[in-house]
Chains A and B, each alone.
With several copies, the nearest count.
Chain A
Amino acid sequence: LATAGVTWTLVTMFERRQEAKQPYLRVVELNETNTDPAPWGANWPHQFEQYRATAGDRFHGGSSALPDSKLDAHPWLKRLYDGYAFSIDYRKARGHAYMLYDQVVTERVNKKPQSGACLHCHASTTVLYRSVGLADMGKPSDAAALAREFDMPAVRRGFEVLSTKPYHEVLELLTQMPDGTAPGSGTQTFESPPVGGFDPQKMPEGHFEMSEAHPVSCIDCHDPATMGLRITRPGFMQGIAALAASDDEYPQFPSIAKWRRGDRSKPYDPTELASRHEMRSFVCAQCHVEYYCASKDVLVFPWANGLKVEQIEQFWEEKKFPGDSPFFDYLHGETGAPLFKAQHPEFELWSQGVHSRAGVSCADCHMPYERVGGMKLSNHKVQSPLENLNNACQGCHKVSEEDLRYRVAVTQRRTEVLLEQAAAAMTDMLDAIRQAKECGATTDELAAIHPLQRKAMWRLDFISSENSHGFHAAQESARILAESIDYSRRAQAAALKLCAKN
């Protein structure tokens, strides 16, 4: 028995050492058309398996398997979004596996017209962008041209052309692009929605196959030649260049500070300048950010003044639609106020927190290194760090998992309680405005309250649509909610005064 034990130790030690030494062995050669992750999986089975695991143990499709509705959990959201597509269908996020599926089936897309820009963050789109871009530039866009190089200018051109086109038209184009595997061949990584949709009202018939278009895929974060991280999204290229040109200070992005010290003749280009560590956040900031995206204009990231909630607000306030009409996302159903919609500003909120300031990147927490045999690999099951506290946090924080969980819970709980408080203030405001109308307040008098309402709702939405429940920047989240409460209540007071007057 003892002998067996010793032998086993020996064998294990041998195996582990071998593992430690293995370099990449490329089974399959990749090029710039490989949006299908399966061939990549042949080279890097471990990352591929984890990537697939973002679907959970198995893919959960069908309407009954959609994530919980946020509108049901927080009924005040319906009043916040009144008059906007989000009031129809708005759910919890889930793993990357679902991003395309969930967008294709959401009633926001199927009951309201949406633009092609939506796909910027929900699918592997670079081949499509390049193809349309090359064509628009009058260059060859055959399979060989597509496979050759990434070509950011062409990608950007294609993105601009498609940005304001109708969603379903662009989705259709997307499915026709080469994805590096022969049509019909290869394993299907994720399930498709049932042909015709699981509810015929909800989805146009049989136009969409998950094997022909893919959610974010290896090629969207990695260079197929070097496997280095890279930026593929034109929205981010524009946004981060604008941020670099602003005055706001971000010592956590040293390459921006360096660019600023230079002559600024060329816009800041993350592909050339960003450090490997900065890239560990930038790849995520291609999508987990606030944006405008609808048919009236090209997708835009609003960072020209900085990433703080007020700076983004100011950006939207100063923005004009083409034709110089003032910008807004929607007119509020109850009050008619022009409002801004905040979407998942994870990158922006994180940038205001102490982790960001200390240089802790998204990937550090959401794709932590873990030991696999003798190697350290990044966990490609991108998920909540609470599922994985030991790898995600304990590398830096030498305290128990229980303690870490408690710390997160305290921060999140404070945020959640305050969020409900801000929501109550918001509904009180709407009630008061409604009442003022009944009291006979004039349109002009009521319009004078719109800016307060917009500021209140913008701040409430900013934290409520951010997905960390305040963890990414604890104090900043509370501050933003405090301001939301203040604006809501000031609008309420203004409305009450109208009643008193009339």
Chain B
Amino acid sequence: MIGAFVGLGAFTFGYGKGAAYLSNDPAACANCHVMQSAFDSWQHSGHHHVATCNDCHLAPHPIGKWIVKADNGFFHSLAFTTGNFHEPIQIKPRNRRVTQDACVHCHRDFVHEMLPATRGGDMLDCIHCHRDVGHAQR
């Protein structure tokens, strides 16, 4: 039983190119057709040659990274299979925070003056202005 689960699970994993969650290949994300428009718009974005999906959608933090993977991997598969999700797909607040962290991670020096003056202060949402960074022409 356990064997069957692992075996079949592994096959599903392979067939669904679930390794998306382990690899850095954006095409692997687009393996799920519901990710197609995210993939297409990423290809049109100024970032497609500097950042892949995981650069923005995974926490730069080494442990956080795996938790996000597990969390999203689990929920995406579940949602995809049941078909029970909002269309167009909307990013969840916590995942939005992940992307904000990613922006700051790469552009920290450049946006130095925008960082909060005091620890714990809030800061502006990058995508308030840069609506199509990552995903152009949506």
Contact pick for A9, options B12, B98, B120, B138, CB 8 Å: B12
Contact pick for B124, options A8, A10, A276, CB 8 Å: A276
Contact pick for B111, options A376, A391, A396, CB 8 Å: A376
Interface residues of A in 245-274 (CB under 8 A from B): none
Q: Does A395 contact B (CB under 8 A)?
A: yes
The segment out of A11-19, A160-168, A177-185, A494-502 that lies at the interface is A11-19
Q: A6, A11, A398: which has the most chain B beta carbons within 10 Å?
A: A6
User: SS class of chain A's interface: helix, strand, loop or mixed?
Assistant: helix
B88 touches A17 (CB 8 A): no
CA distance A227 to B122 in the complex (A): 14
Contacts of B136 in A (CB 8 A): 398
Q: Does A3 contact B (CB under 8 A)?
A: yes
CB-nearest residue of chain B relative to A399?
Answer: B90
CA distance A282 to B98 in the complex (A): 29
Contacts of A42 in B (CB 8 A): none
Q: A9, A19, A21, A22: which has the most chain B beta carbons within 10 Å?
A: A9
Contacts of B71 in A (CB 8 A): 6-7, 10
B67 touches A10 (CB 8 A): yes
A390 touches B86 (CB 8 A): yes
Q: Does B22 contact A (CB under 8 A)?
A: no
CA distance A396 to B128 in the complex (A): 8
Q: Does B104 contact A (CB under 8 A)?
A: yes
A12 touches B81 (CB 8 A): yes
B112 touches A22 (CB 8 A): yes
Closest CB-CB distance, B126 to chain A, in whole Å? 10
Tally of A-B Cβ pairs under 8 angstroms: 142
Q: Does A353 contact B (CB under 8 A)?
A: no
Contacts of B116 in A (CB 8 A): 17-21, 276
CA distance A350 to B74 in the complex (A): 44
Contact pick for A14, options B1, B83, B101, B138, CB 8 Å: B101
Contact pick for B5, options A3, A12, A275, CB 8 Å: A3
Contact pick for B15, options A2, A10, A364, A398, CB 8 Å: A10
Closest CB-CB distance, A265 to chain B, in whole Å? 24
CA distance A14 to B71 in the complex (A): 14
* B59-94 Cβ-contact flags toward A at 8 Å (1 or 0): 101001001101100100100110100111010001
Contacts of A19 in B (CB 8 A): 115-116, 119
Q: Does A374 contact B (CB under 8 A)?
A: yes
Contacts of B49 in A (CB 8 A): none
CB-nearest residue of chain B relative to A225?
Answer: B117
A18 touches B123 (CB 8 A): yes
Closest CB-CB distance, A322 to chain B, in whole Å? 41
Known A-B contacts A13-B16, A374-B110, A398-B132; the reply to A20 vs B67 at CB < 8 A is: no
Q: Does B50 contact A (CB under 8 A)?
A: no
Q: Does A176 contact B (CB under 8 A)?
A: no
CB-nearest residue of chain B relative to A390?
Answer: B87
Interface residues of A in 203-254 (CB under 8 A from B): 226-228
CA distance A16 to B114 in the complex (A): 17
A8 touches B81 (CB 8 A): yes
Contacts of B113 in A (CB 8 A): 21, 375-378
B81 touches A9 (CB 8 A): yes
18 intermolecular pairs with C-beta atoms under 8 Å apart: A2-B9, A6-B67, A6-B71, A7-B94, A12-B81, A13-B15, A14-B94, A18-B121, A19-B115, A20-B121, A21-B113, A276-B122, A276-B124, A364-B128, A375-B113, A376-B111, A377-B113, A395-B130
For the complex of A and B, the 6 pairs showing the least CB-CB separation, nearest first, are A21-B115, A20-B119, A226-B117, A395-B129, A9-B81, A14-B97
